Copies of this chain bind each other. A is one copy, B any other.
Amino acid sequence: MSQHRPLGASGRTAAVPALPDLPEATVARLPEYLRALHHLVEAGHDTVSSEGLAAAAGVNSAKLRKDLSHLGSYGTRGVGYDVARLVDQIEYVLGLTQRRFVALVGIGNLGHALAGYAGFASRGFRIAALFDADRERVGEKINGLAVRHVDDLPEVVAEESITIGVIATPAGAAQRVTDLLVDAGVTSILNFAPCVLSVPEGVDVRKVDLAIELQILSFHAHRKASLTALPRTPGAGLASMPSAVAAPGTNRRPGGRHRPARTEAFGT
């Protein structure tokens, strides 16, 4: 933890200060911390306590401290974390110090929206190419960038140093596009198509399926409904349930993810 790291505000030391391999769960939260930190910067804060940052990011403060400790621990006891330094640190670890170029494939309904989504550019990602298989759409300009035919993908990916592919095609085309991207050297793929992609080892795929999210919500709604519809299970030691019912008006827990609430009414 005391291993000094040549990062700071000074130089980004282009390569290899030996990235620690963070727990996946931590990696998933770092972007959230980063966003909260940017807010703090704009608000003029220059330090923040783990408690404060955790609240802003919607997580437990102990979890936040542990997460940050994994990447080298830059807090000062009794004071908190230096906001600017922490921003640098997280951005470095996430690889955001270098701009990343993105190819977006499938300029349909969703792809069109993604192409115009400001949230990408504002966080260091540049959409460098748009592709579609429909020659009707080729040539169309979105935000000043022309749609190209997917046949051109291999050469364009190489020319533009593209390292991330975003797939917004119908499911039927997704695997073909994936293979194209992988062959072109892309090793990170964000998949919006509702299907499973097969990729060689070393290629990273993340999936976002809007319908799945709704179905998960549906489950919980269904479950809540069935619970309230049922007056209650007789007997049932509710005492065993810790926070389930909890004081009525007490407080609105912000980040508290739904706890499945463990109603031990197992079977019947």
Question: Could you tell me which A residues sit within 8 Å of B by CB distance?
Answer: 1-3, 15-16, 18-24, 27-28, 30-32, 34-36, 56-58, 93-96, 100, 102, 109-110, 112-114, 116-120, 122-125, 163-164, 187-191, 194-227, 229-230, 233-234, 236-238, 240-241, 243-246, 252-268
Contacts and interface: CB of A to CB of B under 8 A. Distances in A.
B256 A218 contact: no
Given A95-B222, A190-B213, A196 B265 contact: yes
This chain: how many copies in the complex?
2
Contacts of A163: 221
Given A31-B216, A206-B262, A208-B208, 7 more contacts: A16-B229, A18-B265, A190-B210, A190-B217, A197-B254, A201-B254, A201-B268
Contact of A218 (B96, B109, B203): B96
The 5 lowest CB-CB distance pairs between A and B, nearest first, are A95-B222, A113-B113, A198-B265, A58-B196, A188-B217
A124 to B, nearest CB: 8
Nearest to A110: B113
Nearest to A195: B35
B219 A93 contact: yes
A118 to B, nearest CB: 8
A202 B217 CA distance: 12
A164 B177 CA distance: 33
A124 B94 CA distance: 38
B204 A217 contact: yes
Contacts of A210: 114, 117, 119-120, 190, 208
Contact of A31 (B187, B189, B209): B209
A29 B132 CA distance: 30
Contacts of A265: 18, 196-199, 205
A53 to B, nearest CB: 12
Nearest to A209: B31
Nearest to A217: B188
A241 B19 CA distance: 11
A18 B226 contact: yes
Given A24-B258, A114-B210, A268-B18, A187 B119 contact: no
